[in-house]
Amino acid sequence: MKNPPSRPKFGGAGLSGGFSLMRGDRAAQLVPQARLAGPMPWVIAIMVALTVIAAAGGLALNNLAQNARSELSGGATVQIVEALPQERDRQARAALALLAEHPAVASVRRVPDAELERLLEPWLGVGADKEAVPIPALIDLQMRTEATEAQLDSMRRLLADQAPAARIDAQSAWLGPVFSAISSLQWLALALVILLGLTSAAAVWLAARSALGTNRNTIEVVHLLGGTDSQIAQIFQRSVGFDATLGGTVGLALGLVAVLVLGQQFVGLDSGMVAGGGLTWINWLMLAVIPIAGVIIAMLTARLTVTGALRRML
Amino acid sequence: MSKRVGETITFDNVGLRYGTDREVLSDVSFTLYPGSFYFLTGASGAGKTSLLKLLYLAQRPSRGVISMFGTDVITLPRSRLPAFRRRLGVVFQDFRLIPHLSAFDNVALPLRVSGVREADLRKHVTDMLEWVGLAHRTDARPATLSGGEQQRVAIARAVIGRPDMLVADEPTGNVDPEMALKLLRLFEALNRLGTTVVVATHDVHLLKKVPDSLIMRLDKGRLSDPTGALRYPPQRQVTDRDDNAQLGQDGGEF
């Protein structure tokens, strides 16, 4: 019998080297790649698509609330609730003159009758009888700073003599319940994003455990040949990373299409408040980061699952 | 010139039990010296496979001390064990080849795990497959190989990194007597280069084929060592030999 071939020269990579020297290409061959045949990429695609939609909804609501708040925070409305048209007109002019002099007021504007009629048209119909349904005169105020209750009280006292029918309200107060609802929806969107992230991690955990079971012989052999936990985890990380990248890309595309279609439909509503819910370029970038975060979560989950299972071996 | 007179492995009062069952190995004590050839024998259920698992670091004992290459591996952290496993070669009873890899890739696996560059390992793997007579089956998957061929791939994988100790569990169990003798010659060739070889076998005829071998006999989990030769073997020196020297052609070719 001839001697066995001479001892190969080891790369001196030590325990930290090994598969990493091959940039994972050879290591990846150790686990048969099911690629699109397995459920993993599709589960991740669905999760990423839902996360993109939920996150886009949350960001749109945030933009909408911020725009509405900045528009309304310094605004107040004065209503002259007087049934007699001449008296209503007199009080409106008096209030306009007094408020223009108030130090907290930046600008004051009487809402023209034509604009009022247009605003009320959906409820009163075209050519409503003004005598039968008296419409208050409206004065739109823009304050120098956010409207406070103290400022509003000061204005009420100012108008008490000359315009006793005047009622002053901060515009933000009207929309308080709306902001509260928007805030709840934002929290809901955030909770959905977190839940979907956790669900994705759980799906990867299950898939990694299943892959561990399927490839148990390979893992044990590599382990007994001196493979480190890190090397073995790398094999699965790479496989899961590929699936997650594929699924994340498909999911992002699906999610963005859904967001664009929904956006177009909301634009069609032609509502001033909804128009403030458009996404900025930073928001789009944040959405694009979701699949990257998905890939990182998936690879981290796979690594933790595999190293956890390996720790049960000697 | 003499070299490697220190011990390779020492077991001191080692016991092993699975769960709460009775011990499958009890008070096992022995020392394996570099360059020695050991046969591990015993009836089925005597604890041969359990002892081999302790030898190739797949299992921790329930008690006792195991020293490997001068280091107590029982108290060693898990993270340091791979370095010791890379100094061992293991031939499993059921081969444990990776089914979706070719013969070449199966044999190359230990080198890849150890970080040998692709350019460096190709010739070594090809030479090793040639040494075991499978140069023409490098691309074959295990499922397409015969039992004897699979066994030889498993042996090539175990010895490709030129381990300090080779452990083989019933390596001749699935092959005919002629093939069994040829496999034994492969182990002998490796042993001549200084590798300690431990072969577990039922085949008593094999024991006579290696003249200088020592017998480790397990009986119901206890190692019989009536002369004390396993625990306190005579000091033995291994001749330093050039890897490329011709050491005889007595085994024939596959």
> What string of H, E and C letters represents the secondary structure of B145-197?
CCHHHHHHHHHHHHHCCCCCEEEEECCCCCCCHHHHHHHHHHHHHHHHCCCEE
In this predicted structure, the answer to whether residue B253 has a pLDDT above a threshold of 50 is no
Q: How far apart are CA B30 and CA B12, in angstroms?
A: 7
Among A221, A228, A231, A232, the residue to mutate for chain B (most B Cβ within 10 A): A221
Residue pair B158/A62 in contact by the 8 Å Cβ criterion: no
pLDDT band at B72 (very low <50, low <70, confident <90, very high): very high
- Domain end point (choices A131, A164, A197): A164
SS3 for A40-103, per residue?
A: HHHHHHHHHHHHHHHHHHHHHHHHHHHHHHHHHCCEEEEEECCCCHHHHHHHHHHHHHHHHHCC
What pLDDT, in 10s, does the model give residues A60-96? 888 888 887 777 777 888 999 888 888 999 999 999 9
Q: Locate B232 and state its tokens.
A: 């306190």
Strands of the B71-72 sheet, one edge to the other: B23-32, B9-17, B63-68, B71-72
Cα A21–Cα A19–Cα B197 angle in degrees, nearest 5? 115
The answer on A254 and A117 residing in a single domain is: no
Q: What is the mean pLDDT of chain A?
A: 82
Chain B residues with CB under 8 Å of A13 CB are: 114-115
The answer on A224 and A121 residing in a single domain is: no
The answer on A191 and A261 residing in a single domain is: yes
Return the pLDDT at B218: 92
Indicate the helix (H) or strand (E) that contains B25: strand B23-32
Once rounded to an integer, what is the mean pLDDT over residues A54-62? 89
**DSSP label at B73?**
S
Once rounded to an integer, what is the mean pLDDT over residues A220-248? 88
Return the pLDDT at B246: 33
The answer on A202 and A59 residing in a single domain is: yes
Chain A residues with CB under 8 Å of B161 CB are: 7-8, 10
> Considering only residues 94 to 113 of chain B, which have any Cβ-Cβ distance to chain A shorter than 8 Å?
96, 98, 100-101, 105, 109-113
Q: Which domain holds residue A196?
A: 16-68+177-310
- Domain end point (choices A121, A137, A164): A164
Return the pLDDT at B147: 86
Q: Cβ A314–B246 below 8 Å, yes or no? A: no
Return the closest-CA partner of residue B109 out of B101, A265, B243.
B101
The answer on A45 and A194 residing in a single domain is: yes
**DSSP label at B233?**
P
Once rounded to an integer, what is the mean pLDDT over residues A251-256? 95
Once rounded to an integer, what is the mean pLDDT over residues A109-138? 80
The answer on A207 and A94 residing in a single domain is: no
Return the pLDDT at A217: 85
Q: Does a structural domain hold residue A6?
A: no
In this predicted structure, the answer to whether residue B90 has a pLDDT above a threshold of 50 is yes
* Residue B230 to residues A39, B15, B40, B52, B213, Cα–Cα distance (Å): 55, 17, 11, 16, 11
Q: Percent of chain A beyond pLDDT 70?
A: 84
Question: What number is the ipTM of this complex?
Answer: 0.86
Once rounded to an integer, what is the mean pLDDT over residues A216-245? 88
Q: Does a structural domain hold residue A23?
A: yes
Return the pLDDT at A37: 56
Q: What is the mean pLDDT of chain B?
A: 85
B149 has a chain A CB within 8 A of its CB: no
- Domain end point (choices A114, A137, A164): A164
- Considering only CB atoms, B131 lies closest to which of A5, A15, A32, namely A5
Burial code (b: 16+ CB inside 10 Å, e: under 16) for B25-64 equals bbebbbbbbbbbbbbbbbeeebbbbbbbbbbbbbbebeeb
The answer on A115 and A64 residing in a single domain is: no
Return the pLDDT at B59: 92
Chain B residues with CB under 8 Å of A25 CB are: none
Residue pair A3/B247 in contact by the 8 Å Cβ criterion: yes
Helix (H, G, I), strand (E, B) or coil at A126: coil
A190: which strand partners?
none
Return the pLDDT at B156: 93
Quick one: CA torsion of A11, A15, A19, A24, rounded to 10 degrees? Answer: -130
The answer on A208 and A109 residing in a single domain is: no
The answer on A306 and A235 residing in a single domain is: yes
pLDDT band at A242 (very low <50, low <70, confident <90, very high): confident
Helix (H, G, I), strand (E, B) or coil at B98: coil
Once rounded to an integer, what is the mean pLDDT over residues B17-21? 87
Q: Does a structural domain hold residue A10?
A: no
Q: Does a structural domain hold residue A126?
A: yes
Once rounded to an integer, what is the mean pLDDT over residues A138-166? 87
pLDDT band at A169 (very low <50, low <70, confident <90, very high): confident
The answer on A277 and A198 residing in a single domain is: yes
Q: Percent of chain B beyond pLDDT 90?
A: 54
Return the pLDDT at B91: 94
Q: Does a structural domain hold residue A240?
A: yes
Once rounded to an integer, what is the mean pLDDT over residues B123-129? 92
Q: Does a structural domain hold residue A32?
A: yes
The answer on A225 and A92 residing in a single domain is: no
Overall domain count for chain A: 2
- Considering only CB atoms, A225 lies closest to which of B60, B109, B162, namely B109
Return the closest-CA partner of residue B213 out of B11, B27, B6, B41.
B41
- Considering only CB atoms, A2 lies closest to which of B116, B161, B249, namely B249
Residue pair B191/A36 in contact by the 8 Å Cβ criterion: no
The answer on A217 and A109 residing in a single domain is: no
Return the pLDDT at A131: 67
Chain A residues with CB under 8 Å of B245 CB are: 3
What pLDDT, in 10s, does the model give residues B143-157? 999 988 998 999 999
Q: Does a structural domain hold residue A282?
A: yes
CB pairs under 8 A between A and B: 139
